[in-house]
């Protein structure tokens, strides 16, 4: 009986993952947001009751998609959290990682989907915060801490540094990839990250 139950649970998980792969593609491809539960079901080739079975309601679908995006970025997040001895090394290394996202549409589209849905639903906003934004910021805090606050005496300063680095990187990627800034006013992303590293390394050194 226990083996049958475990097999059934694996089957549910596998089916849910299959659906999420399709639903995630729909979420980033459909520009006329928000996508209705019916539209999600049509694109997934299933009925609305099937989606409700696995995700409860439309909100459940959206939150599951955001979690799916986060899971796909787990390795990238782990690499971005690697502590670096200096601010310059931390920022330049993060710039190289960010270029990976800047060179694809998925990063910008995933954030755009989560942002749009967050505007409409506070519970989705909290899920986006808890699943993507805060983990990204906390990873940056781990990366920056040795260079910004080696003694561990000013954790707020590390948090401020993480916010100050994450925000311009996110905006730059959204500007170029999602908002078509690459066509309207192209930005050399490599040069941008190099200048960002220079600004940070000179402005966020350990206080005397």
Q: What does the pLDDT average to over 41-47? A: 95
In angstroms, the Cα distances linking 8 to 12, 18, 53, 54, 160 are 6, 15, 15, 14, 46
Label residue 204 by pLDDT band (50, 70, 90): low
**pLDDT tens figures, 105-122:** 888 899 999 999 999 899
**pLDDT tens figures, 179-199:** 999 999 999 998 998 888 888
Q: CA 37 to CA 39: how far, in whole Å?
A: 5
Return phi, psi of residue 87, to 5°. -65, -45
Residue 143 has pLDDT above 60, yes or no: yes
Q: CA 48 to CA 164: how far, in whole Å?
A: 42
Model-level pTM? 0.87
Q: CA 62 to CA 142: how far, in whole Å?
A: 29
Q: CA 26 to CA 149: how far, in whole Å?
A: 43
Residue 170 has pLDDT above 80, yes or no: yes
Q: What is the pLDDT of residue 191?
A: 92
Q: What is the pLDDT of residue 106?
A: 86
**pLDDT tens figures, 72-102:** 999 999 999 999 999 989 999 999 999 887 7
Fold annotation for 2-62: Arc Repressor Mutant, subunit A (1.10.10)
């Amino acid at each position: 009986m226990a083996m049958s139950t475990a097999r059934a649970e694996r089957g549910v998980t596998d089916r849910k993952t299959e659906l999420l792969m399709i639903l995630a593609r729909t979420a980033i491809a459909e520009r006329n947001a928000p996508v209705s539960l019916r539209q999600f079901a049509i694109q997934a080739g299933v009925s609305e009751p099937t989606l409700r079975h696995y995700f409860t309601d439309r909100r459940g679908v959206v939150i599951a998609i955001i979690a799916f995006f986060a899971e796909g970025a787990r390795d990238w997040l782990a690499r971005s959290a690697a502590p670096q001895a200096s601010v310059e090394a931390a920022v330049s290394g993060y710039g190289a990682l960010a270029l990976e996202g800047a060179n694809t549409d998925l990063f910008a589209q995933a954030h755009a989907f989560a942002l749009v849905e967050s505007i409409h639903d506070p519970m989705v906003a909290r899920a986006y915060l808890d699943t993507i934004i805060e983990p990204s910021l906390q990873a940056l805090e781990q990366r920056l801490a040795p260079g910004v606050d080696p003694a561990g005496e000013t954790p707020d300063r590390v948090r401020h540094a993480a916010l100050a680095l994450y925000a311009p990187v996110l905006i730059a990627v959204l500007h170029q990839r999602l908002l078509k800034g690459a066509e309207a006013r192209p930005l050399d992303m490599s040069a941008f990250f190099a200048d960002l590293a220079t600004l940070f390394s000179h402005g966020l050194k350990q206080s005397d």
